[in-house]
């Protein structure tokens, strides 16, 4: 009653006729109203009413995954490649617990998701009922927010509020836990505009103009500036990338980005330094270390980016633009914090830069660029080519070559490990929302389901999951999903028979004791994908590689390419843990690693 | 303490960067206004434990029944950077409306209520009663061989009271944790 009274007070327009429907129908109605066209899920006892409602409509396409974890990653891929909220639907108990990894992944990478979980009926909650789990308790620390709906008349509002929370401010995953009896019960549906937002959740998005002016003045007087950008720019929408390009071009400053920010700035541009961080480029990391003004936009000074924090960019003034106040001063002390939306901030920065007719100190900037060119000349991504054995870097260079020639939009997902870093280093990312990877949580098994989500959103695009033979096996069951929906996803496996990144650390830091990193029994990936109904290809030597990639590119079916690569190739350059940006290592020179740390 | 020790010894076994040297810790009293919805306390407490922060004292009650708002008072210890991080993280939580750092924002009143049970007989009873009187504690229950004293004061004064009652046969203590409010006309979150 109270809720309706409040509503009467706040809504001025004539109230639409309240529609009576079941909880399950409300879920569908709310999804449609929120613009959802695709939902990834797996049915089970506690969500049967919702699946029944799904069956009786044709506006939302449901994608049946093979394990709930896949549904969450697919929703992540869908969300990150479209900028929309990704949606998943899973059952209670094991359905919800399987979803946990995807939720944690989306939380760390700020991916907007709404995950609907079924729950046992309200009268059974707390009785250790069949497939009962404390979903709210379990998912509390790995979601931005979660709801348990105990009254069908609150359900529609909670659905709308979930979407609002997932997409506003710093985006993240929201779980809405719906007991089965609530799905059956008849109640009143409220539309998006009438929904009662209990949380008063309204994150600050407008920048403080005084801070902007201070920041832009600092930029104008900089001698050795650098832009350090991240996934926040992608989350701020496509326009944010356009503004970033304008800002970088008008200032003439060099720019680097985190793994999550790749594509915001075109990799083919001459002001682009490449990715920074543990496996970033020499020039990017040295520029970060030696700069005098750092302009960080939408990145969070993650430990894989900063290296040793006490030695991080010691002589620079730091400007940090982030929509989440808790990201500021968390790891690195900031001189000018700006808590705001990246797009609005860059818009304001450009306005001030233009209004005050600022111009960068050309002489200083020229000598800064001269220094950067010296670092760049190190050609830090160079690797030793082999006539016969395929180097993983070479395989990706060839893939990049074919992707650049392809007329289709190209989307890349990755699993986690060496291949992920090589993909970031060697593949061309010139547009935002084209690179889907598990950056924060580092979830092996992310890439294949994410690629399925991307392909669902972009049926005509070229979508490839760059994988390792270990990671791919973590969610390989999703090959069946790709087959079921005729998705021409490509899986490009760099197969070195090792858990490469772990092996690399064991070699360099653990006295070459290769504990449990060799897979004794690998499946034949070609036969495996054929068993699922897809196409399997294999390249075992350099001569075979181009033909195989070409065949993959021209194929309109699910294709797995097993590229047998050099077994013990390491990923360089590298900042060893506990080292600074200017202590990065270019080659596998064991003496360069501080063994006392082991 | 463990991490501090391991950074001071040179032969660390960790391949990770040593923990940065910590600045001096200070105790802050935070007042947090939240929507009184199911699980809101778990969200706050879980955030503290999940990120490795400590809660020294916590009190909570609904303070606005019409709008279902609860006020949580937390005393927690940390370096200034950690306290800033705690406040920023608290503000991120969806049901949190306002966070006030009373310690930072000027003068405030802090109170805690304690109930102390003393078991004693004979001559000891007069001694116990005398010390309780000195702390302005009320006698809320009395039997031939026991007392319950009620004291309301700052947390550190309560500590003193507990210490002084110890030799008189103190067997049980119940404390509410700190409630606090800023002095003057300032309102939470402003």
Tens digit of pLDDT for each residue in A172-215? 999 999 999 999 999 999 999 988 777 778 888 999 999 999 99
Q: Please indicate, yes or no, whether residues A340 and A287 belong to a single structural domain of this protein.
A: yes
Tens digit of pLDDT for each residue in A115-134? 999 999 999 999 999 999 99
Q: Please indicate, yes or no, whether residues A317 and A421 belong to a single structural domain of this protein.
A: no
Q: Please indicate, yes or no, whether residues A132 and A241 belong to a single structural domain of this protein.
A: no
Structure confidence at residue B19 (pLDDT): 56
Is residue A500 reached through a cis peptide bond, with omega within 30 degrees of 0 on the bond before it? no
Q: Please indicate, yes or no, whether residues A457 and A494 belong to a single structural domain of this protein.
A: yes
* Residue A250 buriedness (CB in 10 A; 0-12 / 13-18 / 19+): middle
Cβ proximity of A356 and A216 under 8 Å: yes
Mean pLDDT for A161-174 is 96
Query: Whole-structure pTM over 0.80, yes or no?
Result: yes
Considering only alpha carbons, which residue of chain B is nearest residue A3? B67
Residue A43 lies in a domain: yes
CA distance B104 to A325: 18
Mean pLDDT for A331-352 is 97
Residue A365 lies in a domain: yes
Which residue has better confidence, B75 or B13?
B75
With an 8 Å Cβ cutoff, are B85 and A329 in contact?
yes
H or E element that contains A568: none
Q: Please indicate, yes or no, whether residues A76 and A153 belong to a single structural domain of this protein.
A: yes
CA distance A190 to A160: 9
Residue A505 lies in a domain: yes
pLDDT of B7 above 90: no
Q: Measuring CA to CA, which residue among B33, B126, B118, B24 is closest to residue B74?
A: B33
CA distance A156 to A494: 46
Q: What is the 3-state secondary structure (H, E, C) of B58-127?
A: EEEEEEECCCCEEEEEEEEEECHHHHHHHHHHHHHCCCEEEEEECCCCCCEEEEEEEEEEEECCCCHHHH
H or E element that contains B167: none
Taken in order of first residue, the domains within chain B and their CATH numbers are: 2-11+18-101 (3.30.70.260), 108-180 (3.30.70.1150)
How is residue A145 written in tokens?
A: 């927010």
Tens digit of pLDDT for each residue in A448-475? 999 999 999 999 999 999 999 999 999 9
Considering only alpha carbons, which residue of chain B is nearest residue A148? B38
Structure confidence at residue A492 (pLDDT): 98
Tens digit of pLDDT for each residue in B128-184? 999 999 999 999 999 999 999 999 999 999 999 999 999 999 999 999 999 999 999
Tens digit of pLDDT for each residue in A388-405? 999 999 999 999 999 999
**Residue A264: which pLDDT band, with cuts at 50, 70 and 90?**
very high
A338 vs chain B: nearest CA distance in angstroms? Answer: 14
Q: In 3-state terms, what secondary structure has residue B181? A: strand
pLDDT of A100 above 90: yes
With an 8 Å Cβ cutoff, are A326 and B92 in contact?
yes
Percent of chain A with pLDDT over 70: 95
Structure confidence at residue A183 (pLDDT): 98
Structure confidence at residue A398 (pLDDT): 98
A85 vs chain B: nearest CA distance in angstroms? Answer: 18
Structure confidence at residue B16 (pLDDT): 52
Interface of A with B (CB under 8 A): 136-137, 140-141, 144-145, 148, 165, 170, 198-201, 303, 307-310, 324-326, 328-330, 505, 509-510, 577-578, 596-598
Q: Please indicate, yes or no, whether residues A400 and A489 belong to a single structural domain of this protein.
A: yes
Mean pLDDT (chain A, rounded): 94
Taking the CA of residue A193 as centre, how many other CA atoms within 13 Å lie in the half-sphere pointing to its CB? 7
With an 8 Å Cβ cutoff, are B11 and A596 in contact?
yes
CB neighbours of residue A290 within 10 Å:
19
CA distance A247 to A185: 54
Mean pLDDT for A481-508 is 96
Q: Which of A140, A309, A328 sits opposite B20 (nearest CB)?
A: A309
CATH of the domain at A407: 3.40.50.970
Cβ proximity of A306 and A332 under 8 Å: yes
**Which segments of A67-194 does DSSP mark as H helices, in order?**
68-82, 94-108, 135-139, 152-167, 180-184
Taking the CA of residue A213 as centre, how many other CA atoms within 13 Å lie in the half-sphere pointing to its CB? 5
pLDDT of B3 above 80: no
CA distance A130 to A45: 10
Tens digit of pLDDT for each residue in A214-240? 999 999 999 999 999 999 999 999 999
Cβ proximity of A547 and A397 under 8 Å: no
**Residue B1: which pLDDT band, with cuts at 50, 70 and 90?**
very low
CA distance A353 to A555: 49
Which residue has better confidence, A5 or A538?
A538
Give the contacts of A409 (CB within 8 A, at least 6 positions apart). Answer: A434, A458, A460, A461, A462
**Residue A592: which pLDDT band, with cuts at 50, 70 and 90?**
low
pLDDT of B11 above 60: no
Structure confidence at residue A338 (pLDDT): 97
With an 8 Å Cβ cutoff, are A509 and B15 in contact?
yes
CA distance A236 to A207: 14
Q: Pick the catalytic residue from A7, A19, A33, A131.
A: A131
Residue A386 lies in a domain: no
Mean pLDDT for A131-138 is 98
Tens digit of pLDDT for each residue in B118-140? 999 998 999 999 999 999 999 99
Which residue has better confidence, B12 or A427?
A427
Residue A204 lies in a domain: no
pLDDT of B21 above 80: no
pLDDT of A70 above 50: yes
Structure confidence at residue A476 (pLDDT): 98
Mean pLDDT for A239-256 is 98
* Catalytic residue flag (residue A68): yes
Structure confidence at residue A204 (pLDDT): 86
Which residue has better confidence, B18 or A480?
A480
Q: Which domain holds residue A405?
A: 392-571
With an 8 Å Cβ cutoff, are A199 and B88 in contact?
no
Structure confidence at residue A2 (pLDDT): 41
Tens digit of pLDDT for each residue in B51-106? 999 999 999 999 999 999 999 999 999 999 999 999 999 999 999 999 999 999 99
pLDDT of A590 above 90: no
Structure confidence at residue A593 (pLDDT): 53
* Distance between start and end Cα atoms, chain B: 36
Q: Please indicate, yes or no, whether residues A369 and A240 belong to a single structural domain of this protein.
A: yes
**Residue A596: which pLDDT band, with cuts at 50, 70 and 90?**
very low
With an 8 Å Cβ cutoff, are B35 and A325 in contact?
no
Residue A585 lies in a domain: no
pLDDT of B13 above 60: no
CATH of the domain at A245: 3.40.50.1220
Residue A588 lies in a domain: no
Residue A384 lies in a domain: no
How is residue A281 written in tokens?
A: 């480029």
Question: B124-134 and B155-165 helices cross at what angle (nearest 10)?
Answer: 170
Q: Please indicate, yes or no, whether residues A398 and A347 belong to a single structural domain of this protein.
A: no
Percent of chain A with pLDDT over 90: 89
Q: Please indicate, yes or no, whether residues A341 and A239 belong to a single structural domain of this protein.
A: yes
Considering only alpha carbons, which residue of chain A is nearest residue B20? A310
Tens digit of pLDDT for each residue in B24-47? 899 999 999 999 999 999 999 999
**Residue A6: which pLDDT band, with cuts at 50, 70 and 90?**
very low
* Catalytic residue flag (residue A131): yes
Final residue in a domain of this structure, among A320, A348, A376: A376
pLDDT of B20 above 90: no
The structural domain count of chain A equals 3
Q: Measuring CA to CA, which residue among A533, A575, A520, A487 is closest to residue A65?
A: A487
Q: Please indicate, yes or no, whether residues A171 and A229 belong to a single structural domain of this protein.
A: no
Q: Please indicate, yes or no, whether residues A268 and A298 belong to a single structural domain of this protein.
A: yes
How is residue A261 written in tokens?
A: 């920010």
Give whole-number Cα distances, B50 to A101, A142, B45, B58, in Å: 16, 10, 8, 17
Structure confidence at residue A197 (pLDDT): 78
**Residue B188: which pLDDT band, with cuts at 50, 70 and 90?**
confident
Best to test chain A binding among B88, B94, B95 (most A CBs inside 10 Å): B94
Cβ proximity of B142 and B182 under 8 Å: no
Q: Please indicate, yes or no, whether residues A415 and A562 belong to a single structural domain of this protein.
A: yes
Asked if B166 has any chain A CB less than 8 Å from its own CB, the reply is no
Final residue in a domain of this structure, among A341, A376, A411: A376
Lowest mean pLDDT among A10-19, A37-46, A186-195, A224-233: A10-19
A594 vs chain B: nearest CA distance in angstroms? Answer: 9
**Residue A589: which pLDDT band, with cuts at 50, 70 and 90?**
low
**How remote is the C-alpha of A410 from its chain's centroid?**
16
Give whole-number Cα distances, B30 to A85, B98, B105, in Å: 35, 10, 10
Structure confidence at residue A585 (pLDDT): 87
pLDDT of A334 above 50: yes
Q: Which of A200, A303, A509 sits opposite B97 (nearest CB)?
A: A200
> How would you classify residue A427: left for phi > 0, otherwise alpha for psi between -120 and 50, otherwise beta?
beta
């Amino acid at each position: 009653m109270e809720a309706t009274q409040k509503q009467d007070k706040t809504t001025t327009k004539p109230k639409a006729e309240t529609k009576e429907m079941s909880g399950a129908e409300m879920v569908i109605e709310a999804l449609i109203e929120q613009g959802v066209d695709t939902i990834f899920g797996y049915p089970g006892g506690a969500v049967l009413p919702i699946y029944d409602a799904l069956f009786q409509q044709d506006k939302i396409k449901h994608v049946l995954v093979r394990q709930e974890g896949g549904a969450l990653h697919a929703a992540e891929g869908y969300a990150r490649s479209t900028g929309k909220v990704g949606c998943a639907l899973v059952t209670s108990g094991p359905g919800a617990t399987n979803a946990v990894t995807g939720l944690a992944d989306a939380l760390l990478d700020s991916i907007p998701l709404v995950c609907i979980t079924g729950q046992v009926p309200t009268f059974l909650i707390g009785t250790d009922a069949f497939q009962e789990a404390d979903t709210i308790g379990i998912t509390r620390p790995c979601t931005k927010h979660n709801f348990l709906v105990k009254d069908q008349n609150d359900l529609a509002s909670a659905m709308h509020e979930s979407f609002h929370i997932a997409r506003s401010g710093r985006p993240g995953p929201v779980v809405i836990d719906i007991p089965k009896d609530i799905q059956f019960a008849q109640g009143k549906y409220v539309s998006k505009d009438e929904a009662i937002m209990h949380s008063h959740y309204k994150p600050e998005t407008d920048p403080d103009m005084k801070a902007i002016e201070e920041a832009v003045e600092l930029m104008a007087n900089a001698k050795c500036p650098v832009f350090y950008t991240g996934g926040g720019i992608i989350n701020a929408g496509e326009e944010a990338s356009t503004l970033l390009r304008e800002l970088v071009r008008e200032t003439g400053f060099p720019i680097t980005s985190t793994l999550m920010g790749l594509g915001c700035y075109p990799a083919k541009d001459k002001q682009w330094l490449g990715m920074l961080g543990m496996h970033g480029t020499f020039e990017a990391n040295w520029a970060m270390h030696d700069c005098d003004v750092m302009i960080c936009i939408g990145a969070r000074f993650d430990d894989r980016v900063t290296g040793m924090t006490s030695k991080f960019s010691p002589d620079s003034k730091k400007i940090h633009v982030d929509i989440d106040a808790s990201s500021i001063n968390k790891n690195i002390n900031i001189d000018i914090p700006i808590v705001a939306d990246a797009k609005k901030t860059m818009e304001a920065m450009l306005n001030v830069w233009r209004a005050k007719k600022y111009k960068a100190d050309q002489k200083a900037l020229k000598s800064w660029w001269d220094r950067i060119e010296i670092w760049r000349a190190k050609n830090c991504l160079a690797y030793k080519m082999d006539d016969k054995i395929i180097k993983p870097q070479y395989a990706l260079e060839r893939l990049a070559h074919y992707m650049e020639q392809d007329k289709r939009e190209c989307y890349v997902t990755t699993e986690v490990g060496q291949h992920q870093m090589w993909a970031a280093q060697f593949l061309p990312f010139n547009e935002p929302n084209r690179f889907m990877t598990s950056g924060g949580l580092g979830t092996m098994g992310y890439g294949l389901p994410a690629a399925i989500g991307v392909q669902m959103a972009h049926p005509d695009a070229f979508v490839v999951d760059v994988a390792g033979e270990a990671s791919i096996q973590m969610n390989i069951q999703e090959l069946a999903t790709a087959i079921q929906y005729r998705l021409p996803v490509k899986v490009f496996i760099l197969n070195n028979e090792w858990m490469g990144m772990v092996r690399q650390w064991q070699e360099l830091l653990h006295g070459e004791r290769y504990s449990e990193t060799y897979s004794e029994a690998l499946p034949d990936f070609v036969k495996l994908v054929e068993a699922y109904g897809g196409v399997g290809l294999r390249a075992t030597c350099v001569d075979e590689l181009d033909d195989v990639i070409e065949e993959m590119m021209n194929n309109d079916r699910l294709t797995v390419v097993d590229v047998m690569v050099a077994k013990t190739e390491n990923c360089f350059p590298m900042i060893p843990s506990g080292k600074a940006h200017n202590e990065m290592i270019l080659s596998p020179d064991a003496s360069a690693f501080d063994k006392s740390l082991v | 303490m463990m991490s501090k020790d391991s950074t001071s010894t040179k032969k660390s076994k960790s391949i990770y960067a040593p923990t940065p040297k910590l600045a001096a810790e200070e105790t802050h009293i935070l007042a947090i206004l939240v929507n009184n919805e199911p699980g809101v306390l778990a969200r706050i407490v879980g955030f503290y434990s999940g990120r490795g922060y400590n809660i020294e004292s916590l009190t909570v009650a609904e303070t606005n029944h019409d709008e279902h708002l609860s006020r949580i008072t937390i005393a927690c210890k940390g370096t200034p950077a950690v306290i800033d991080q705690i406040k920023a993280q608290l503000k991120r939580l969806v049901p949190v409306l306002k966070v006030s750092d009373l310690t930072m924002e000027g003068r405030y009143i802090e109170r805690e209520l304690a109930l102390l049970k003393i078991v004693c007989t004979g001559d000891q009873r007069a001694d116990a009663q005398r010390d309780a009187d000195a702390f302005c504690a009320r006698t809320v229950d009395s039997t031939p061989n026991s007392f319950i004293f009620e004291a309301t004061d700052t947390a550190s004064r309560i500590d003193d009271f507990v210490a002084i009652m110890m030799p008189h046969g103190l067997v049980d203590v119940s404390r509410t944790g700190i409630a606090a409010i800023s002095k003057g006309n300032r309102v939470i979150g402003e």
